[in-house]
Structure 1
Amino acid sequence: MSRTYLVTGSASGIGAATSELLTAQGHQVIGVDLRDADITADLSTGEGRQHMIDAARELSQGRLDAVIANAGISAPIPATVQVNYFGALATLEGLRPLLLASDAPRAVVTASMASLQPADEELLAALIDANEEAAITRGQALADAGPEVGYLNYSTSKQAIARWVRKNAPTPEWAGAGIPLNAIAPGVVLSPMTEPLVNSPEGRAQLEEQVPMPLNGWMPAESAAELLSWLSSPANTHLCGQVIFIDGGVDAIFRGDTTW
């Protein structure tokens, strides 16, 4: 049966691979991105988020079967927090009413193995409190301290969105409404976002040290797309609040047996 999906970050990387896979499966895909998409929207702004919601309601005729909140950036700047956290929240919460019209609604967000890396506690608190103004202020302070410290904008935003999924998935608004809400946490994905690192000896050495992936190394975007496809399909009936690390072993190396 054909379903209607909305995928953010659809113009490249995991979003493009997911959109192509779902389309090949016979589904309708509404893509959202800064360019080359059905809905052109900047999810770092309130105006862009509202435009996405309004346009999605119109294009879907008021019904979505699945939402894949995949859009994200990794730059060491506050906009990373605005897209990765507040943009993802607006996508999930803003489009949840459209999911309620589906017989088998599903929602997935792209987190990252970076959620296991160090986070900035002040920024994390602002995100958990949904205080975007405070988050931007703290994010700018981190950015001003240089790219290494500024990277905390990325890792903190990914930890925050993973924690939001864990907290909200079992609630009446999601599980109680029959909507499985989950996240994936990829390792290094070969995409335009990682290209500058992958294409330089220094970058490759840095990635290998910081993100050890013993199973098959760096992954193509298509691998993440396959997982997103299943999580957002009717076959996924009982996964609730899971952050699935599709990372070649990074999570197992970093956390060992601490899942218990």
Structure 2
Amino acid sequence: MPRISVVTGSASGIGKATRELLIERGEIVIGVDVHDADVVVDLSTAAGRASLVEQVSELSGGSIDAVLAVAGLASPTATTVAVNYFGTIATLEGLRPLLLRSAAPRAVAVASMASLFPPDDILLAALLAGNEADALARASELEAGGAEQGALIYGTTKRALARWIRRNAATDAWAGASIPLNAIAPGVVDTPMTSDMIATPQQREAMATMVPMPLNGIFEPRSVAYLLAWLAGEENAHLCGQVIFIDGGSDVIIRGDATW
């Protein structure tokens, strides 16, 4: 029987590349996005998150093998908080019961190397506390504070997501149920999300200064899809709570040996 995988953000970028790769490998993929998907929902809303679970349950017959929570935004807005953090966690937690019926369940989310950048501490605290109202309120303040403050939103949501993965992966709900839960942290990938940031040689040079990627520089979403596919596959039986940086070396340059 082919594996059944759910891929959010499946209409573009990394999500689209992952969906296409899994289909090529013979899997059944339920794509989720705000348009052009099997399940069309808005993960920034409670109604959209509930509808995701309902529709995936119906389409899958109540059992799935993998959740790949790829959907995300990079805009300096409060909506980025709703999608990147609360939407991703709602996806993972909401679909977890469907994973319990699989012989080899897997779950993986997409963080970012931007999680290495200094966060907004107030927003980070609200996210980790699970307080969506406070998080959205703080994000709205940052959004109104100009470009420099607004730029803190994306990286802060990705840092909070990485921490949520680390805090939950080894619990009874995940590891105790034999579900490997992990995340990846991409560097700069050439997708519609980043196109306006890397459109000119000057922009690419500026991006390389902020996000140093000595190993082959900016790359295509297919490269990320290969890693996601492995993490969501049967071969990955023991990786637990890892945030894997696929970033051309930016993590190495920024953190050095700080993880030891």
What are the Cα deviations for residues 223-246 of structure 1, in whole angstroms up to 9, with x where unaligned?
A: 000000000001001100000000
Question: What is aligned with 1:98?
Answer: 98
Count of aligned pairs between the two proteins = 260
Separation in 2 of the partners of 1:213 and 1:205?
Answer: 11
The one-letter code sitting in structure 2 at the alignment partner of 1:45 is: T
Task: Report the equivalent of 2:199.
Answer: 199
> Identity, % of aligned pairs?
58
- Give the 4+ runs in structure 1 shifted more than 4 A: none
Tell me what 1:42 maps to: 42
Shift of 1:36: 0.5
What's the counterpart of residue 16 of structure 1?
16
Aligned to 1:243: 243
The 3-state SS of whatever aligns with 1:15 is helix
* Aligned equivalent of 2:188: 188
The one-character-per-residue Cα deviations of 1:113-145 (angstroms, maximum 9, x if unpaired) are: 000011000000000010000000000000001
Q: Summarize the alignment of residues 5-84 of structure 1 with structure 2, pairs less than 5 Å apart.
A: 5-84=5-84
2:190 maps to amino acid: L
Amino acid paired to 1:5: S
Q: CA deviation at 1:203?
A: 2.2
In the TM superposition, residue 201 of structure 1 has moved relative to its aligned partner by 3.8
In the alignment, which residue of structure 2 is the partner of 1:176? 176
Give 1:60's aligned amino acid. S
Tell me the SS of whatever aligns to 1:237: coil
Residue matched to 1:138: 138
- Find the residue that maps to 2:203 and give its secondary structure: helix
- C-alpha distance in 1, partners of 2:125/2:200? 35
SS in 1 for 2:214: coil
| Per-residue CA distance 1:10-64 (angstroms, 9 max, x = gap) | 0000000000000000000000001000000000011111111100100010001
Unmatched segments (≥5 aa) in structure 2: none
Residue 231 of structure 1: aligned partner: 231
How many Å separate the matches in 2 of 1:236 and 1:122? 36
Give me the whole-angstrom Cα distance separating, in 1, the residues matched to 2:71 and 2:173: 23
SS for the counterpart of 1:44 is coil
In 2, Cα distance between equivalents of 1:148 and 1:202: 20
Deviation of 1:147 after TM superposition, in Å, equals: 1.9
TM-score, structure 1 as length reference: 0.99
Unaligned 5+ segments in structure 1 are: none
Q: How does 1:147-186 map to 2 (within 5 A)?
A: 147-186=147-186
TM-score, reference length from structure 2? 0.99
The 1-side partners of 2:151 and 2:22 are apart by 32
Q: CA RMSD in A?
A: 0.7
Q: C-alpha separation between the residues in 2 aligned to 1:47 and 1:29?
A: 23
**Letter of the aligned partner of 2:42 in structure 1?**
D
Query: Matches of 2:11 and 2:215 in 1, distance apart?
Result: 28
Q: Secondary structure at the match of 2:136?
A: helix
1:206 & 1:73 partners in 2: Cα distance? 21
> For 2:47 and 2:219, how far apart are their aligned partners in 1?
34
Residue deviations 1:163-187 (CA, integer Å, cap 9, x gap): 0000000000000000000000000
What does residue 256 of structure 2 align with?
256
Q: Which amino acid aligns with 1:144?
A: A
